[in-house]
Amino acid sequence: MTSEHETGPSVLIVEDDDATRSALRRDLVARGFRVDDVRDGHGALLRWEARRPDVVLIDLGLPDMDGTRIIGRIRREATTPILVISARDGEATKVEALELGADDYITKPFGTAELHARLRAVLRRAGGAAADAGGRVAVGPLVLDALRHDVTVNGTRVDLTPREFEVLRVLLAHPGRLVTRGRLLRAVWGEAYRSEDHYVHVYVSQVRRKLAAADPAGALRRLIVTEPGVGYRVGGE
């Protein structure tokens, strides 16, 4: 089940202990996250494919598979931040999870303050090399805030859908670099959509239209440059 909060980052909690999962859900919803939660690996993979959360919070000891399998699967397809929460405190286990692609590892039991700090850190890093210490990327009058899941132009909020936000976030995370259509598809929609090039064209067009409507002066007219037949590049103001 997903919370009704629609403004903050989305988090997928993968935890088989009902009490822990419920406590995490309540705490994160209260802090403005949009929360989805599952108790096993199969459910996690289904939710991951369907909803593409902004961050994954995952236990390793799941009833149907080891959490490291999910880490590997997600990391093959996307750069989504993954934060492990586990009672396993052995160094070899931590190293394995991190080498498979987890961004951070917290050993149970942990305090909520530590969890929030780690979540904020991995979300800031998700903004890419162009992000500041607060997870914000600024290009001319445009500011994308990865922590608040928010985009503004000249201080006015731009109403992007979650998919549109993610398309823009991925592009802004690679300033000046070519992002192929295939890479954008895998990062935002997943491996199953690798042949659906039209998704990228439609969503990039929608993002451009909404940014243009918020920017009558035209400062962002050349923000997203099309490289014909290949992909897109964030050009600049």
Structure tokens at 222: 């050349």
Location of structure tokens 């593409």: 52
- Which of 126, 153, 177 corresponds to the end of one domain? 126
- Which of 104, 126, 148 corresponds to the end of one domain? 126
The residue segments making up the domain with residue 36 are 10-126
Q: Let me know if residue 2 belongs to a domain.
A: no
For the chain, what is the domain count? Answer: 2
Q: Let me know if residue 3 belongs to a domain.
A: no
* pLDDT tens, residue order, the chain (237 aa): 444 435 678 899 999 999 999 999 999 999 889 899 999 999 999 998 888 888 999 999 999 999 999 999 888 877 788 999 999 988 889 989 988 889 899 999 999 999 998 888 888 776 665 666 667 888 999 999 877 788 999 999 999 988 899 899 889 887 778 888 888 888 888 766 666 778 899 999 999 999 999 999 999 989 999 988 888 988 754
Residues 84 and 172 in one domain: no
Residues 161 and 114 in one domain: no
Q: What is the CATH number of the domain that holds 141?
A: 1.10.10.10
Residues 159 and 63 in one domain: no
Q: What is the DSSP string of 131-189?
A: --TTSEEEETTEEEETTTTEEEETTEEP---HHHHHHHHHHHTSTTSEEEHHHHHHHHT
Residues 80 and 43 in one domain: yes
Supply the pTM of this predicted model. 0.66
Whether the CB-CB separation of 82 and 71 falls below 8 Å is answered with yes
- Which of 126, 147, 163 corresponds to the end of one domain? 126
Residues 80 and 141 in one domain: no
pLDDT given at position 6: 53
